[in-house]
Structure 1
Amino acid sequence: MKYRILHQRIVNITFFQVLVIAFFFSANAAGTITESKELKKGLWVHNLIDITITGKVTDEKTKSPIPGVTVKIKNGTTIAVTDENGLYRIAVPNEQTVLTFSYIGYDIQEKIVDNLKNIDIVLKSSQADLDEVVVVGYGTQKKADVTGSVVRANLDDFRNAPTTNVANLLQGTVPGLNVGQVNRAGSTPSINIRGQNTLGGNQNVLIILDGVQYNGSLTSINPDDIASIDVLKDASATAVYGAQAANGVILITSRKGASGRTRISFSTQYATQKPNINLKPMARDEYLDHIKYLYYNEAFLAPDFTQPNPAFNLVSKVDPSMKDNQGNLLPNDFSWYNEATKTGAIVDNQLSVSGGTDKINYLLSGSLTRNSGFINNDVFKRKTLRANIESKATNWLTIGLQSFGTFVNEDGVEPNFNDINLMSPLILPWDNNGSLKINPFNTNLTNPLLSYQAKDYDRHNYFFANIYANIQLPVKGLSYKISFGNNYRLDFKNISNIYDANLTGQASKENTTYYDYTFDNLLTYTKTLGKHNLTGTLLYGAIERENSYTRAYSTGFSRLTLGYDNLQQGTNRFAISNAFKEALNYQMFRFNYSYDSKYLFTGTVRRDGFSGFAENNKYGIFPSLSVGWDISKESFFKVNWVDNLKFRLGYGVAGNQTSRYSSLANVGVNAAYVYGDGSSTELGQQVNSLPNPDLRWERTTGANLGLEFTLFKNRLSGVAEYYDTKTTDLLYSVNIPVLTGFNNYLTNIGQLNNKGIELSLNSKNINGTNFKWTSTLNFARNVNKVVKLLGDLNGDGVEDDLPQSGLFIGEPTAVIYDYKVDGIWQIGEKIPSGYSAGTYRIVDQNGDGLINASYRAVLGSSAPAYRISLLNNFQYKNFTLSIFLNSVQGGNRSYLAGNTPRLIRDDNSIRNNYLSGIDFWSPDNPDGKYPRSFVSATLNPSLYQNRSFVRLQDISLAYKFTGRLIERLKLQNLNLFVSGRNLATWTDWEGWDPETNQGLTNDGRPVFKGYSIGLNVTF
């Protein structure tokens, strides 16, 4: 009884209080809790008014009564608590009263009294996520029965984010899934799962869309059409995809219609996009100062060069292009940066119609998206159409179609951003007649705004269709599924510009056609014998891919009035074409067994064949097995604050394939010979690479240990994982003696290891009637290490490094091997020959006093030490506020990158512009961080900086309308939201952005921050 009384009083307390109390009682601490005098015969009743309501509260699954449930008048103070039989009694003022029923570990339920005197309530456990069905590859499983490392991404809390690519919604949301930033309209970020598993093999994550391998761009997929994304991380989970799964698998499932009332949904969003950092080129005064300091030995007086030299004539040092006819400086302070940029925007509109009956369900959707980037002509436009239809044709046959078409428009050529930042503020882009200057500096550097004159047609059309049929065979539990998935892509790139090809004019047309199909035959047998559940899955499938590319182009136009539609007008005409075909086939058998959902086993064997592999190794076999034990279901497990506790262990082998034709001798067409003086050049062919008939598949063997838990009546849940993978037979091009006629040879070498830990925690900090606060914490750390390479080449018993390739035994593949910098040489110091004041001082690593290549050392790694994110979700009545912080940290020697703006006085540096505010060295700024000198040093090493950051990545505030407004408008849902993305970044990194690895460089690009407002409505 003392536990029940306690539960009724802690509905709204924090998780940390629950933690203390739970541990206190689980240890059987001494003490008693005195029952309230108001609790009589198990019922707590007060404030009796007019109407008495009685009822019973039971569990949805077990149908058993739930004692200790709090029954409360909404927005009131009257409370009752169910007794040991789940019974309650409460007095209410009128029939319009709303009662709330709440209990830790269950979803809160509300009920209007109306004219009822008895109200029975069935509460649904908030641990329903254990019954959630996740996609595991060639089928689905209940989350509670999964034995591999499979995680469902949280999409719901990020759907309002201002972005056009679904991959951006995954940043930081799944431990071990590493998604980068983007800085172009509509672009796809980098995606990586659990570190780098290869040196020369395929490094792409495998994307499965509705059961079909998808090689198209993720920009083609409308985020609003996606129902779920599941991530397969360990070898036991990915082995069902065999040869292409070494880098992990992302399973994308599109939405379907549901039976019942037709739903018409419309959503619209407008978002702004601008740089998340105010980094611009120098304006006039700073630009002229920059030129002066490049001539500090003349502009300032010796010996310390800190006192201005009154005789110094700055104008004489400025490039003639910045002076008028009288030799005076032009008066301009023009911003090329402002001329070439603007505030970007996203306009996104979505419409879908869905519904169904018990015989058929359907979803039809369409979208219009326009993303205008920060730089002019950085434009992404997308139109999508989707039709998903599934019909239960008979009681033994289900047929369906999942299809979409996406039409992407990226017309326009943006100005070269590097050249924009190089342009002097003293120069205007136009001449006195208003025409664009061709060469503003009177050099071969052309005006970057000339790109506006291009006629550009840049289109990408994607078509996807997966047709499937599921047949229930006459044998009970035996089904056969056949699916035929198709991907078709058309790319058109037509462009002409009179200023291209060294100002002679150029026009071209490029067409690319890509097609692949996936044909799968899946036989599944399920059987239940008492508490024994068995499932066998047998797969036979094939994939074929083909690609064709053609480009025709001409140069040397007297005029380009017809642009790329009349290539024959060009003086010089050329044509290029290529094509490829490749094929895969595979077989897979998977066996699942569970006893009482307590003891779990999964075994998989997959055999893959790929046409691109060598003659002697066309096929590879990839097995895996995994086990699980739900210890919380054991009769001996009596820890009352543990709701669920499951151990799982997996071990498996995944493969990685080489690129097509890489095991064969390739023939090139670049060989040329001149027969005699004055003769024309004759083109020929030559063998460019050696064949390797024994080239093998890479093999990644991995073990994964996982612990899933739910504690304190579902107040805290999470997953902790440890993994250890080993990749052998690494595909790598090894350098060979040039006397063989070739530079390298593709073969299998060495070993690469990845170890890591991952943790995901979900807590219900406050779970009240009107106010809820939940948190999700994700943490991931991966340690990558090269274990073997070519072996002991020197015969000294020690595995040899490959420093020329940046590979070292015992170090990560992302190792940084360079000279270590120790400040800048100052005026008056004893400076070695080949260096001067203002150049970097290089650390003598071996003490020999010589500055040469032997000074290089391993300085650290560009890979992060760990990643961590925190999502807080607050709900007050109809308001929902989500705040998401994402961070990548590097420690002392990790997540480093070179960031070295450097000025050396030469013809270009005194003419070009640079980013403003850079802390360059000068005699009067001896603590300057970056080198500036009037001579070039013998060695110019980089300064490596830590890229660690914490980012306020997403924030969203939404209001869901309810009540009479919804009823009057006959709506099912009406939701208004505002959101922001990348609003703040805290970092010591200097430059555009630490996550994109772009520092203080003219050719970098900013990451966007943006604000959006949107509306979701369902009829």
Structure 2
Amino acid sequence: MRYRILPKRIIVITFLPVMILAIFTTANASNNGMAAVELNIKPGFAVLSPADISITGKVTDEKTKSPIPGVSVKVKNGATTAVTDENGVYKISVPDAQTVLVFSYIGYDVQEVTVGNLKNINVVLKSAQANLDEVVVVGYGTQKKADVTGSVVRANLDDFRNAPTTNVANLLQGTVPGLNVGQVNRAGATPGISIRGQNTLGGNQNVLIILDGVQYNGSLTSINPDDIASIDILKDASATAVYGAQAANGVILITSRKGAIGRTRISFSTQYATQKPNIDLKPMARDEYLDHIKYLYYDEAFLAPDFTRPNPAFNLVSKVDASMKDAQGNLLPNDFSWYDEATKTGSIVDNQLSVSGGTDKINYLLSGSLTRNSGFINNDVFKRKTIRANIETKATDWLTIGLQSFGTFVNEDGVEPNFVDINLMSPLILPWDNNGNFKINPFNTNVVNPLLNYQAKDYDRHNYFFANVYGNVQLPVKGLSYKISFGNNYRLDFKNISNMYDANLTGQASKENTTYYDYTFDNLLTYNKAVGKHSFTGTLLYGAIERDNSYTRAYSTGFSRLTLGYDNLQQGTNRFAISNAWKETLNYQMFRLNYNYDSKYLFTGTVRRDGFSGFAENNKYGIFPSISAGWDISKEPFFKVSWVDILKFRVGYGVAGNQTTRYSSLANVGVSASYVFGDGGSTQFGQQVNSLSNPDLKWERTTGANLGLEFTLFKNRLSGVIDYYDTKTTDLLYSVNIPVITGFGNILTNIGQLNNKGIELSLNSKNINSNEFKWTSSLNFARNINKVVKLLGDLNGDGVEDDLPQSGLFIGRPTAVIYDYQVNGIWQVGEKIPTGYSPGTYRIVDQNGDGVINASDRAVLGSSAPAYRISLLNNFQYRNFTLSIFLNSVQGGDKSYLAGNTARLIRDDNSIRNNYLSGIDFWSPDHPNGKYPRSIVSATLNPPLFQNRSFVRLQDVSLSYKFSGKLIEHMKLQNLNVFVSGSNLATWTKWDGWDPETNQGLTNDGRPVFKGYSLGLNVTF
């Protein structure tokens, strides 16, 4: 099975009209906005004709409410123009009621108003720099976006809140250049997340998550997406340096919602969504299954020499496994779908309720949610209950205290049937016997009936508790404040299960408990000072983190009965217990200085010192500095480009660290069987050293430079950001093989160098911006490549840095390099085939031409990393309707974004019995152009076929309607909104199998990505 490919020229054609129209409309907007300047119209009133209608009004600023002098007021498609006076007042003549007035002023959005029956039209203009006036979270504080000197991006959540999801990470897919978020194929699952590619080999590769200022190590599934106000992404070293040693892979800052001053708001939302596979890929039905067995015996089922003519003497029934025949030796008549029996249409039911409000003394938010996500496989269920309380009060003029807290209770009870075994079960066999009982071994082999998992009693719960208590003190010195915060994370995991069919059908029951707790204690001193056009902000931090984990499992096997299941483990014949625990601590200090001159020249300098208990005694601490600067060129007197509203250049350079896992620098001791006292005597357990210590193990250091350009053009019709970054990671944490004569196989140490660079582009255009219809577009593009520069050095003494081919690491190549045999078609019947191969096996390229296929013929075939990522969001608004369409794509070119994807059949006992996915393009003598190998015997080497994973996905479509007018007033509502949406509605790719993004091809153990439709309602009282 395969998806339909969207050719590259179609992709180009898709994107081009949007950009051309954006440029065309922005150019028109620029010309219109310059009209007042070109005509040199002085502030005052236009000359009236006796036949004209006189219109007057006032133009004010949206935020300051102050009048704006010099605003151009023009009749659309006409010559009449006026300009507001020093009080923001204008007067203009129009020919009729259908006339449209265009209001434009440098630094503000252009606004159009239809005259209608109005004689007085007051207009409020919105600043074109509103996006730069936005306050973003930068770590231990906030800044206006205009003053940020690092690479900090706020994710667009508003356009995707209607998407059916249980995890906030899914809302980020493709929305921020450089932020890579994968797909999920299980209920409630968290996708993989990375920022700007790979900076390490053996160190931590996780993105740092900060929730309300506290490091968060819990699952993102524990966070209710509706409780989130904003998500900010720190990408470059100058931005992440405030988090030092743990920020080498980027930082995601999540800020929860607060109450706002004003009347109490009661908000309720509900949503129902369906979920089913986005591809129709199922196991073979009866006829195809029997045909598959026949072709495994093509040497008997067809006549020599070419094996394309059917052999009338061939007896297929004799080749079918005995488990699929009745007592008389006839094939069972069944055509049973194990797949349909084990699956269903999944769903998401999500209900949210919140109460918020506030005064000038206190603000509050109370929220709760109920979420149920049923996957398409039976018993793949995720249930979540959340409750949140965010309260902040200004206790005195100098003291503000607050609490940010939530509790999440996750239920994942139930064991789904083994999907691999579901796909390999024969359609000729039923899961039940004649008495309606489950068959234990349907094939009469050790393969157990996958539906037996339904008999398990499973209790799978995860409880998350989060609380951050803080106080902010305004000290007697003007501009000096002190903030103390104490953040707590507590998690309880319970996994209790019993099944009579486990432990080789003897029965097994277990209780498994995990307790995790961490705290973050921060002391923050901030000083703000402004002198004329100069402003300074100094931030001083001292903090500490401690993490504790405890695990216990008790289990028993050999039950005569499991009446009480895991609540009576002593009934088992064999009883066992396992436990472990760990603790780690960190402390850190940080100083940051921000300087701003007239919002034109910007500077940020940061130094952070980190200490971690997991590092060796000689290198407990690391120091990580950074420096960055910004220049708003558009504010310079000499810069007089009328179509450029904002042009800001920034540059940053800094060092981030990466830490090792706990205890990795120490000699670890393990427990194993050590002594046996006499023949048949008891075994005694002892302790032994399993790894070498390395007292000189130290922090990885990632040094990076970032160049950025932010711009707004054509009176805010087109805006964007371009970033280029280049990083270098040294002292890479890596487990190096050592001579076994030492008694150990490897040791963790610091080696080599890895370079990582890329470019990111974000464009936002207002293609149409009229009163009744608006069309905006957002285009994101990111390209990242890394390269191994150094490893272990020159081991051979030939003056050349040596590769590590056994680890897939090559000097001058990316870490994701693919080093393997190259396939060139399939050997055909009648060809001169080398020894060790047969018809239906892959033909391997003899790279060195010596006539022998061996390890020397492996070659670098490409890379598993993508060449670039691109996404396009179009948002259309007509009156109260809003339609958004989001396309997301990952592309690999010719030799990038490759992965092994080979469905292979070799005639043996299992392949004749097992079922496989339907519609696979297998080779046969009468189908010589088949893509995948099928042979009678196994070849000496069976390399994979590497396929391109490039795809274009229609990832999200949403249509909403916001009610207004008398209905809202009559119902006394603040907001009423209904919506329908769809996710993953179409995917165009050459990849064969489940999904290219999850890297699951034509294999029984894959799982599909979900396609879904949802219907929802949002209402605020």
Q: TM-score range by the shorter chain?
A: over 0.9
Specify the alignment match of 2:12 in structure 1. Answer: none
**What is the Cα deviation at residue 213 of structure 1?**
0.1
Specify the alignment match of 1:893 in structure 2. Answer: 895
Specify the alignment match of 2:396 in structure 1. Answer: 394
Specify the alignment match of 2:24 in structure 1. Answer: 17
DSSP 3-state at the match of 1:910: helix
TM (normalized to structure 2)?
0.94
| Partner amino acid, structure 2, of 1:741 | G
2:71·2:103 contact (CA, 8 Å) conserved in 1?
A: no
Matched, 1:800 2:807: no
Q: 1:660 aligns with which of 659, 662, 666?
A: 662
Report the Cα distance in structure 1 between the residues aligned to 2:110 and 2:409, rounded to whole angstroms: 44
**What is the Cα deviation at residue 127 of structure 1?**
2.4
Report the Cα distance in structure 2 between the residues aligned to 1:172 and 1:25, rounded to whole angstroms: 34
Report the Cα distance in structure 1 between the residues aligned to 2:841 and 2:991, rounded to whole angstroms: 21
| Partner amino acid, structure 1, of 2:207 | V
Specify the alignment match of 1:988 in structure 2. Answer: 990
Specify the alignment match of 1:68 in structure 2. Answer: 72
2:104·2:111 contact (CA, 8 Å) conserved in 1?
A: no
1:459·1:493 contact (CA, 8 Å) conserved in 2?
A: yes
**What is the Cα deviation at residue 126 of structure 1?**
3.4
DSSP 3-state at the match of 2:619: coil
Specify the alignment match of 1:191 in structure 2. Answer: 193
Cα deviation, 1:891-910, whole Å, max 9, x if unaligned, reads 01100000001000000000
**What is the Cα deviation at residue 676 of structure 1?**
3.0
Specify the alignment match of 1:7 in structure 2. Answer: none
Specify the alignment match of 1:688 in structure 2. Answer: 690
DSSP 3-state at the match of 1:130: helix
DSSP 3-state at the match of 2:910: coil
2:25·2:768 contact (CA, 8 Å) conserved in 1?
A: no
| Partner amino acid, structure 2, of 1:454 | A
DSSP 3-state at the match of 2:341: helix
What does residue range 155-234 of structure 1 map to in structure 2 within 5 Å? Answer: 155-234=157-236
Identical residues among aligned pairs (%):
84
Report the Cα distance in structure 2 between the residues aligned to 1:71 and 1:1017, rounded to whole angstroms: 39
Moved over 6 A (4+): 22-26, 32-36, 44-47, 77-80, 90-94, 96-101, 108-117
Q: 1:950 aligns with which of 949, 952, 960?
A: 952
Report the Cα distance in structure 2 between the residues aligned to 1:975 and 1:448, rounded to whole angstroms: 45
**What is the Cα deviation at residue 123 of structure 1?**
1.8
DSSP 3-state at the match of 1:1001: coil
Q: 2:999 aligns with which of 980, 990, 997?
A: 997
2:72·2:103 contact (CA, 8 Å) conserved in 1?
A: no
Q: 1:508 aligns with which of 506, 510, 521?
A: 510
| Partner amino acid, structure 1, of 2:675 | Y
Cα deviation, 1:574-593, whole Å, max 9, x if unaligned, reads 00000011100000000000
| Partner amino acid, structure 2, of 1:896 | L
Cα deviation, 1:452-507, whole Å, max 9, x if unaligned, reads 00000000000000000000000000000000000000000000000000000000
Specify the alignment match of 2:470 in structure 1. Answer: 468
**What is the Cα deviation at residue 679 of structure 1?**
1.9
1:641·1:711 contact (CA, 8 Å) conserved in 2?
A: yes
- CA, structure 1 residues 905+117, in 2 after alignment: closer, same or farther (shift >3 Å)? closer
Specify the alignment match of 2:844 in structure 1. Answer: 842
Cα deviation, 1:338-390, whole Å, max 9, x if unaligned, reads 00000000000000000000000000000000000010000000000000000
**What is the Cα deviation at residue 190 of structure 1?**
0.1
Report the Cα distance in structure 1 between the residues aligned to 2:877 and 2:670, rounded to whole angstroms: 64
Q: 1:637 aligns with which of 633, 636, 639?
A: 639
2:728·2:754 contact (CA, 8 Å) conserved in 1?
A: yes
Q: Which runs of 5+ in 2 are unaligned?
A: 1-19
Matched, 1:408 2:415: no
Report the Cα distance in structure 2 between the residues aligned to 1:883 and 1:391, rounded to whole angstroms: 41
Report the Cα distance in structure 2 between the residues aligned to 1:21 and 1:80, rounded to whole angstroms: 17
Specify the alignment match of 2:14 in structure 1. Answer: none
- CA, structure 1 residues 886+44, in 2 after alignment: closer, same or farther (shift >3 Å)? farther
Specify the alignment match of 1:524 in structure 2. Answer: 526
Specify the alignment match of 2:270 in structure 1. Answer: 268
Cα deviation, 1:635-661, whole Å, max 9, x if unaligned, reads 000111100000000000000000000
- CA, structure 1 residues 259+1001, in 2 after alignment: closer, same or farther (shift >3 Å)? same
1:715·1:764 contact (CA, 8 Å) conserved in 2?
A: yes
What does residue range 587-986 of structure 1 map to in structure 2 within 5 Å? Answer: 587-986=589-988
2:26·2:767 contact (CA, 8 Å) conserved in 1?
A: no
Specify the alignment match of 1:296 in structure 2. Answer: 298
**What is the Cα deviation at residue 674 of structure 1?**
2.5
Cα deviation, 1:251-276, whole Å, max 9, x if unaligned, reads 00000000001100000000000000
DSSP 3-state at the match of 1:670: strand
What does residue range 46-65 of structure 1 map to in structure 2 within 5 Å? Answer: 53-60=55-62, 63-65=67-69
- CA, structure 1 residues 871+63, in 2 after alignment: closer, same or farther (shift >3 Å)? same
- CA, structure 1 residues 843+556, in 2 after alignment: closer, same or farther (shift >3 Å)? same
- Give the total of aligned pairs: 996
- CA, structure 1 residues 471+115, in 2 after alignment: closer, same or farther (shift >3 Å)? farther
What does residue range 102-117 of structure 1 map to in structure 2 within 5 Å? Answer: 102-103=103-104, 106=108
Over the aligned positions, Cα root-mean-square deviation in angstroms equals 2.5
Specify the alignment match of 2:9 in structure 1. Answer: none
| Partner amino acid, structure 1, of 2:722 | A
Report the Cα distance in structure 1 between the residues aligned to 2:70 and 2:879, rounded to whole angstroms: 26
- CA, structure 1 residues 476+364, in 2 after alignment: closer, same or farther (shift >3 Å)? same
Report the Cα distance in structure 2 between the residues aligned to 1:153 and 1:740, rounded to whole angstroms: 51
Specify the alignment match of 1:369 in structure 2. Answer: 371
| Partner amino acid, structure 2, of 1:322 | M
**What is the Cα deviation at residue 66 of structure 1?**
3.9
| Partner amino acid, structure 2, of 1:156 | D
Report the Cα distance in structure 2 between the residues aligned to 1:502 and 1:726, rounded to whole angstroms: 52
Q: Which moved more, 1:110-119 or 1:353-362?
A: 110-119
- CA, structure 1 residues 20+83, in 2 after alignment: closer, same or farther (shift >3 Å)? closer
| Partner amino acid, structure 1, of 2:492 | L
Q: Which runs of 5+ in 1 are unaligned?
A: 1-12
Report the Cα distance in structure 2 between the residues aligned to 1:543 and 1:586, rounded to whole angstroms: 9
Report the Cα distance in structure 1 between the residues aligned to 2:372 and 2:828, rounded to whole angstroms: 53
Report the Cα distance in structure 1 between the residues aligned to 2:647 and 2:920, rounded to whole angstroms: 54
Q: Which moved more, 1:668-677 or 1:133-142?
A: 668-677
| Partner amino acid, structure 1, of 2:22 | F
1:617·1:694 contact (CA, 8 Å) conserved in 2?
A: yes
1:59·1:66 contact (CA, 8 Å) conserved in 2?
A: no
Report the Cα distance in structure 1 between the residues aligned to 2:527 and 2:508, rounded to whole angstroms: 62
TM (normalized to structure 1)?
0.95
Q: 1:379 aligns with which of 381, 385, 394?
A: 381
Specify the alignment match of 1:497 in structure 2. Answer: 499
Q: 1:449 aligns with which of 448, 451, 459?
A: 451
- CA, structure 1 residues 695+135, in 2 after alignment: closer, same or farther (shift >3 Å)? same
2:768·2:774 contact (CA, 8 Å) conserved in 1?
A: yes
DSSP 3-state at the match of 2:24: helix
| Partner amino acid, structure 2, of 1:347 | V
- CA, structure 1 residues 285+591, in 2 after alignment: closer, same or farther (shift >3 Å)? same
**What is the Cα deviation at residue 121 of structure 1?**
3.7
Specify the alignment match of 2:544 in structure 1. Answer: 542
**What is the Cα deviation at residue 833 of structure 1?**
0.5
DSSP 3-state at the match of 1:431: coil
**What is the Cα deviation at residue 59 of structure 1?**
3.9
- CA, structure 1 residues 890+207, in 2 after alignment: closer, same or farther (shift >3 Å)? same
Cα deviation, 1:885-933, whole Å, max 9, x if unaligned, reads 0000000110000000100000000000000000000000000000000
**What is the Cα deviation at residue 672 of structure 1?**
3.2
Report the Cα distance in structure 2 between the residues aligned to 1:117 and 1:903, rounded to whole angstroms: 81
Report the Cα distance in structure 1 between the residues aligned to 2:716 and 2:94, rounded to whole angstroms: 31
| Partner amino acid, structure 2, of 1:890 | G
Matched, 1:83 2:83: yes
Report the Cα distance in structure 1 between the residues aligned to 2:402 and 2:676, rounded to whole angstroms: 63
Report the Cα distance in structure 2 between the residues aligned to 1:913 and 1:408, rounded to whole angstroms: 36
